Every structure is written in structure tokens, then in C-alpha cells.
């Protein structure tokens, strides 16, 4: 893992388990120790705690601005979708079996034995499904809103909770209920709809590489990984520190299929009736899981400054004596000065942590949460006009000691905004280097490359392929499945092809990424 080798000797870290010892257990420990989320006692549903929800609020704020900039308007659609809406969408009702929460009653009553039960009298004539995604219900609305080519493009988005009943859940990565945004758009033709599909994909790529400092590969998913009903599905894929891929956002071109099911028709300029071409695209709280597994280290989370709820935390070192007032005054002045700064075009977010607890405990709590800069101020710092500054991305010196910089206060204030921007860049560069170093392009034997247990860091493999379909594709998917591998996407920025299909030997038409995945 980065950093550890450079320090050259066994560190004692803030967490009880390291990434190398057990990545899955480490992930859970970061979530718990950084107060990001916890189990709720409700199957598959988590409680998102203030530090985790604060990251989501930052993601929402920054992403929402991009969505609005593109002319997309926010709306809100119902949580419940009548069961019959899914019958329209299902190609073959008999083959349909989807994990969704179904509401069947609308009242609770006592059962006469001291327990509550759904009142049998309140059974719904038509069960309602808790939305797993909103294409059907938004399609129904669009069919009312779209009459003429003048009404297109129609661009809407909603921030909402959705539910997909998951058998095996993992916090942020796969939970039964999660928070997301879902964009839904309707267009006059394929060209305009594809433009929007790619705009959303590039918005996600820029967002991941920017505010999340999380490098990704943007590309098209293979046919077998398409969203059901989509003509084309695109994704951004990020590489976690264990080498696995995380699909962190998707954008779908849906053709006219959903428009036909929902009746989204428009009169064209010549007076003819046409079906609209639709798209949908979404990102979710899963992104937070990606940030943890991209930037976390053995001391907890390292939160990218752009999405950190607090970017700088000031911890006063109080001694319950007469000197405390001077320390607090000095801290308040520092808090005011830092709060007047701007970084990333926004005011710097500074917390003065006055909670009643030992200063060293507070320092380590903020290290585990990943606050980008932690500043400690004690009586001596006050008398010397200094502050003890700790950058979360450079926590230790080579000798294993904390890399605290005792800096004149005014110097620190002058450097702070640049330091935040530098931390953001550093986190991105580190992750980018890992991503680039761990895509193997000369692999001839997948089984040998990915040999070993799942914990082995093997990165991704890029192959050239002929984009086979049907039975030929199914066979490849099965082969890969036996190795616990999946195709991730065909990178938009891949080098041109110059060889044969890894699987079929036919002339290759594009490149495909293969890896283990979350």
C-alpha cells in the first residue's frame, strides 16, 4: 500500500486492521471509526451519520450545479409505482423476477394477541412497488408533457431514495435503500439523445476526477451488462486499492423502447407522429464507498478537500486553567481568518472543535474522519504566534513520527487555501498513478494473471476484442465468471486496435477492460 513502504518500518496505525491484512474488514472499520454510517437494525438499510451525510451533501451540491448548468430541471416523482407499470416494461412477464419491496396493505392493527399486523381489511387492490428506479413513472409523466417537437428536449432530474432488495449488502456499495440522482431526458432523435447520454457520462467523469479526486475510465458496457431495456449503457469505472473495479456512475441511451411503452410521442415539424428517444443516468451514495476505498489508508479515511464537510479543523489544547481563554481567543481569530479564505472557488469550511474531550483524542478522531488539515493550538503556540499543522495526506515523517509542521500563524493562513488544493491534487495523482500502473495490456492467460485468492491485488486487464454477441458473448461471460471476472467497459480513450480478439481470434474492433468488481 502506498506510503507504508516509504516509511520503512511497522507503524502503529489508528485502525486495528490494515488494508493488506483484510481489505473488507478495513473498509468496515473506516466506516465505523470515521462515523460515516452504521447498521440501522433494518435489514439492508444503513444510517448515514453526519460526517458521511456531510460528504453526500457536498456531492449533491456540486453535482446539482453541473446538472442545472446543463439545463436539466429538478422534479420529484412518487416513491410508489403501481405494479402494472412493470408489466408494460417486462418483455416476458413470466420470466420476470425482480427483487423489489412491495406494499400490499395500508393500515396496521392489533391482532388481538398483543401484536400489530397489517390490517387484512386494508389490502390494496393493486400492490405498489417502492421505486427501484423511476423510468416507468417518469415516462408516464413525459407522455403527458410532450406533445410537439417544441417540447423537446425534455430534461428532468430527481434526487431521491430508491430500494432494491439486496440479499448481500455492504455499506455504501450495495444497500437495499440508497440515495441517488436519476436524470431522465427525452429527445427528437437518436443523435440528440446520444449527445445527452455522453454529456452525462462526461459530467460524471469530470466529477469523479475533480471533486472526488477519483480517477476513472469512461466507456461503454458490454451488451450483457446493459441496463435492462437500454440500447447502450456507459459507465465510469474506478479502481479500488484492492485492484477491484467499482462502477461509480452510469448513463444509458434507451432508444425508443421506453417511449413506446409509456407513449412518449411528439408531432414533428412535418406533422407526423414520432416516438421520443430517451436517456437516463445516475450516481448514488455508492460514490462515498468509492472515495473510501480509493483514498483511505491504515489510519482511516482521507477525505478529498472538495467534498470534506470540514476542510480545516482547529483543535484547541485546553488545560482547564487560566491559559485556556487566551488559547480559545487565538483559535477564534485563526478560525475567522481561515473562514475568510476561498479554495476551489468557495469559502473555506473551518471548524473550531470545542467539544469536551482530550485534544489528542480529538486529533485522532479527525485523522480517522480524514479532515484534510488538522490544526492544534496550545499555550506555547499562542505565545510563539504559531500553529501545529497536520496534513492528512502526509501524516507521518520518514521516521514514523507525526509530520506536524509548527508554522507561524500568518504563514499558515497565507498557505492554507493552496494547501487544500494541493491535497486534492495529491490524492488524485496518487490514485491516478495506481490506476495507470495496474492495467495490464500484455496478458495472454487470464487464469494465471488472476491466480490466487480474491484478496490478491491483480488490477485490471485490457484486451482487444471483436465485440461478439449472442452465444459467443455468453460463452465469454461464462469463462470470465469461472475466474470471478467481469468485463467492465470499452474505454473511450483507449488506443486504436491493432490485433485480434482475445477471445475469438477475429480482427479486434475495440478494447475491453476486465477485472474483479464490487
Residue for cell digits 506536524?
404
Q: Site map for its own copies, 354-393, x if CB under 8 A? A: --xx------------------------------------
Q: Which of 382-420 are b and which e, b meaning 16 or more Cβ less than 10 Å from the residue's Cβ?
A: beeebbbbbbbbebbeeeeeeebbebebeebbeebbebb
Q: Are 304 and 427 in contact (CB under 8 A)?
A: yes
Residue 117 interacts with its own copies (CB under 8 A)? yes
- 55 vs 419 by CB, closer to its own copies: 55
Question: What contacts 24+ positions apart, CB below 8 Å, involve 440-445?
Answer: none
353 binds its own copies (CB under 8 A): no
Binding of its own copies by 100 (CB under 8 A): yes
Dihedral Cα 135, 141, 145, 146, nearest 10 deg: 40
Residue from 62, 156, 374, 485 binding its own copies (CB under 8 A)? 156
List, in order, residues 6 or more apart from 370 with CB less than 8 Å away: 34, 295, 296, 300, 301, 302, 303, 308, 392
**Cα–Cα distance for residue pair 197/195, rounded to 1 Å:** 5
Q: How far apart are CA 518 and CA 504, in angstroms?
A: 27
Please, which residue, 122 or 383, has the CB nearer to its own copies?
A: 122
Give the residue with the Cβ less far from its own copies, 347 or 499: 347
Could you give the string, one character per residue 9-38, with x where binding to its own copies holds by CB under 8 A and - elsewhere?
-----------------------------x
Complex with its own copies: residue 71 or 452, whichever CB lies closer: 71
- Is residue 109 near its own copies by the rule CB under 8 A? yes
Q: Does 80 bind its own copies (CB under 8 A)?
A: yes
Cβ at position 56, least distance to its own copies in Å:
8
Q: What is the closest distance, in whole angstroms, from the C-beta atom of residue 162 to its own copies in the complex?
A: 10
Strand ranges across the sheet with 216-220: 73-74, 154-163, 177-187, 277-284, 245-253, 232-239, 216-220, 490-491
For residues 90 and 97, what is the distance between their CA atoms, to the nearest angstrom? 10
Residues 175-234 close enough to bind its own copies by CB under 8 A = 177, 179
Q: How far is the CB of 440 from its own copies (least distance, A)?
A: 39
269 lines the binding site for its own copies (CB under 8 A): no
CB of 119 to its own copies, least distance (A): 7
Stretch near its own copies under the rule CB under 8 A, chosen from 159-167, 374-382, 426-434, 439-447? 159-167
Q: How far apart are CA 447 and CA 286, in angstroms?
A: 29
Q: Which stretch binds its own copies (CB under 8 A): 140-148, 257-265, 276-284, 402-410?
A: 140-148
* Closest CB to its own copies among residues 12, 113: 113
Is residue 152 near its own copies by the rule CB under 8 A?
Answer: no
Q: Output the smallest distance, CB 136 to its own copies, in A.
A: 10
Cα–Cα distance, 361 to 480 (Å, whole number): 47
User: 3-state secondary structure string, 191-252?
Assistant: HHHHHHHHHHHHHHHHHHHCCCCCCEEEEECCHHHCCCCCCEEEEEEEECCCCCEEEEEEEE
- Residue choice 71, 112, 120, 345 for contact with its own copies (CB under 8 A): 112
- Contact range with its own copies by CB under 8 A, out of 154-162, 189-197, 343-351, 364-372: 154-162
Q: Does 346 bind its own copies (CB under 8 A)?
A: no
Closer to its own copies at the Cβ: 46 or 388? 46
333 binds its own copies (CB under 8 A): no
Between CA 62 and CA 170 the distance in angstroms is: 26
Q: Least distance from C-beta 226 to its own copies, angstroms?
A: 21
CA distances from 451 to 171, 268, 446, 454, 485 (A): 28, 57, 8, 9, 11
Give the count of residues interacting with its own copies (CB under 8 A): 74
CB 510 within 8 A of CB 464: yes
Angle between helices 409-437 and 324-339 (to 10 degrees): 60
Q: Which of 21, 96, 479, 499 binds its own copies (CB under 8 A)?
A: 96
Position among 25, 66, 82, 174 found at the interface with its own copies (CB under 8 A): 82
Q: Does 310 bind its own copies (CB under 8 A)?
A: no
* Residue 446 Ramachandran class (φ > 0 left, ψ -120 to 50 alpha, else beta): alpha
Per CB under 8 A, which region of 5-13, 109-117, 194-202, 226-234 contacts its own copies? 109-117
Least gap, CB of 347 to its own copies (angstroms): 13
Q: Kindly state the cell numbers that stand for 297.
A: 489508508
**Any idea which residue has 513502504 for its cell?**
5
Amino acid at each position: 500500500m502506498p506510503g507504508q513502504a516509504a516509511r520503512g518500518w511497522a507503524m502503529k496505525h489508528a485502525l486495528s486492521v490494515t488494508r493488506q491484512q483484510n481489505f473488507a474488514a478495513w473498509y468496515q472499520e473506516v466506516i465505523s471509526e470515521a462515523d460515516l454510517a452504521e447498521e440501522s437494525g433494518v435489514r439492508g438499510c444503513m444510517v448515514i451519520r453526519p460526517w458521511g451525510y456531510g460528504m453526500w451533501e457536498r456531492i449533491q451540491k456540486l453535482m446539482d450545479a453541473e446538472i442545472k448548468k446543463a439545463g436539466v430541471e429538478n422534479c420529484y416523482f412518487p416513491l410508489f409505482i403501481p405494479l402494472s407499470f412493470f408489466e408494460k416494461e417486462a418483455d416476458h412477464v413470466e420470466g420476470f423476477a425482480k427483487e423489489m419491496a412491495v406494499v400490499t396493505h395500508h393500515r396496521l392493527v392489533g391482532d388481538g394477541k398483543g401484536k400489530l399486523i397489517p390490517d387484512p381489511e386494508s389490502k390494496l387492490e393493486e400492490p405498489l412497488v417502492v421505486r427501484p428506479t423511476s423510468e416507468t413513472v417518469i415516462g408516464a409523466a413525459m407522455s403527458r408533457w410532450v406533445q410537439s417537437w417544441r417540447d423537446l428536449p425534455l430534461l428532468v432530474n430527481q434526487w431521491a431514495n430508491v430500494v432494491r432488495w439486496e440479499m448481500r449488502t455492504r455499506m455504501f456499495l450495495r444497500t437495499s435503500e440508497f440515495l441517488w440522482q436519476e436524470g431522465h431526458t427525452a429527445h427528437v432523435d437518436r443523435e440528440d439523445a446520444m449527445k445527452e447520454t455522453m454529456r452525462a457520462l462526461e459530467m460524471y467523469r469530470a466529477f469523479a476526477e475533480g471533486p472526488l479526486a477519483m480517477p476513472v475510465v469512461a466507456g461503454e458496457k458490454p451488451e450483457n451488462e446493459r441496463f435492462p431495456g437500454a440500447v447502450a449503457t456507459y459507465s465510469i469505472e474506478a479502481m479500488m486499492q484492492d485492484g477491484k473495479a467499482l462502477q461509480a456512475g452510469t448513463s444509458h441511451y434507451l432508444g425508443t423502447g421506453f417511449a413506446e411503452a409509456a407513449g412518449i410521442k411528439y408531432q414533428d415539424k412535418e406533422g407526423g407522429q414520432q416516438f421520443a428517444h430517451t436517456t437516463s443516468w445516475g450516481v448514488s451514495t455508492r460514490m462515498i464507498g468509492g472515495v473510501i476505498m480509493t483514498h483511505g489508508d491504515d489510519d482511516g479515511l482521507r477525505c478529498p478537500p472538495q467534498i470534506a464537510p470540514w476542510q480545516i479543523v482547529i483543535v484547541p489544547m485546553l488545560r482547564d486553567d487560566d491559559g485556556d481563554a487566551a488559547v480559545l481567543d487565538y483559535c477564534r481569530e485563526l478560525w475567522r481568518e481561515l473562514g475568510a479564505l476561498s479554495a476551489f472557488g468557495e469559502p473555506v469550511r473551518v471548524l473550531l472543535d470545542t467539544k469536551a474531550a482530550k485534544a489528542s483524542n480529538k486529533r485522532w478522531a479527525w485523522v480517522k474522519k480524514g479532515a484534510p488539515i488538522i490544526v492544534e493550538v496550545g499555550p506555547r503556540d499562542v505565545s510563539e504566534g504559531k500553529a501545529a499543522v497536520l496534513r492528512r495526506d502526509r501524516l507521518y515523517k520518514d521516521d514514523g513520527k507525526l509530520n506536524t509542521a509548527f508554522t507561524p500563524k500568518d504563514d499558515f493562513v497565507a498557505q492554507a487555501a493552496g494547501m487544500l488544493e494541493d491535497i486534492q491534487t495529491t490524492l488524485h495523482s496518487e490514485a491516478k498513478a495506481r490506476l495507470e500502473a495496474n492495467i495490464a495490456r500484455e496478458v495472454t492467460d487470464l487464469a494465471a494473471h488472476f491466480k490466487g485468492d480474491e484478496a490478491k491485488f491483480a488490477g485490471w486487464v485490457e484486451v482487444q476484442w471483436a465485440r461478439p454477441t449472442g452465444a459467443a458473448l455468453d460463452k465469454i461471460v461464462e469463462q470470465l465468471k469461472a475466474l470471478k471476472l467481469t468485463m467492465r467497459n470499452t474505454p473511450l480513450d483507449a488506443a486504436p486496435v491493432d490485433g485480434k480478439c482475445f477471445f475469438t481470434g477475429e480482427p479486434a474492433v475495440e478494447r475491453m477492460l476486465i477485472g474483479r468488481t464490487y
